[in-house]
Homo-oligomer: A and B are copies of this chain.
């Protein structure tokens, strides 16, 4: 049983993947430790570490000090969803982008912003090829992002202005299906109770809220992404 040396971490990762798929290492199995694998593969331990770490990030392996590395029983699929600027999202689909500011007011912040400061409340419509694409309902914390008060947002969308002006450290995001109601049906030009895809997102800079936004997409919207284990083992 002789092995050619594996030269790089991608090759090692591919070999580990092969053994998992071939059931040589079934779910729950504890695989050899890094030092042994390094010897077997004829490479440095750091190289094995890199390969296994990346598989652990992908959820295929579970690693614990002293215990070792196990093949995950229930490999959790992880889908990565990109959150682009709306203009980019539309132009990337080959459509012409247009932005329309609907309203801009300073109001008391809604509770989910968790701030006492006043908030800039903006609603806007983003068009794709002269069709309503997404309705934006946004609150901006005027304490965290005071510069926002000097922006009219009638040419540049708050969406676009914020990403280049007020980078966030973290945030949370939700996807839901909802019935369209009220003014929304007018802006998106759809019947009452039409199913619409809604994204709600709040972002923070450290412990200070920056903005909370509700994006309601016109019918037909679809988020599409891929899942996989790093560089595919084709």
Contact = CB atoms under 8 A, between A and B. Distances in A.
A41 B234 CA distance: 40
Copies in the complex: 2
A216 to B, nearest CB: 10
A44 B222 CA distance: 45
A221 B177 CA distance: 8
Interface residues of A, number: 57
Interface string A147-181: 00000000000000001100101111111111100
A76 to B, nearest CB: 5
A83 interface: yes
Given A74-B164, A79-B80, A175 B175 contact: yes
Contacts of A174: 222-225
Interface secondary structure of A, over-half rule: strand
A210 to B, nearest CB: 11
Contacts of A205: 21
Interface in A36-81: 73-81
Contacts of A27: 164, 167
Going nearest first, the 4 A-B pairs with the smallest beta carbon separation are: A195-B195, A170-B228, A77-B83, A177-B177
Interface of A: 17, 20-21, 27, 73-85, 88, 163-164, 167, 169-179, 193-198, 201, 203, 205-207, 217, 219, 221-229, 232-234
